[in-house]
Structure 1
Amino acid sequence: MSDDDGSPRILLVHESAKDRAARDKLAEAKRGLTAKVHDVRALLSSSDGKVSDDNTRNTLHGDIDRVATLDSKSLPDYEDGVNALQRDMDAVRHSIDQKVADQKEAERKEAERKEAERKEVERNNAEHQHDGQTNSGTPAPDQNPPQPPAQDQNVFYASCAAVRAAGKAPIRVGEPGYDHRLDRDGDGVGCE
Structure 2
Amino acid sequence: MQFTQLKVLAVSGSLRKSSLNRLSLESMKLLTPTGVEFLIYDKLDQLPFFNPDLKNNPTIEVLNWRKSLKQANLVIFARPEYAHGITGVIKNALNWIVSSGELLGKPISLPNLSPRASIAHAQLSEILSVMGGDILESCSPNASLITPYVIPCDTAKNLCDIAVINHRIRELWNRIETAMITK
* TM-score normalised by the chain length of structure 1: 0.23
Q: Relative CO higher for 1 or 2, CA cutoff 8 Å, sep ≥ 6?
A: 2
Asked which structure has the greater CA Rg, the reply is 1
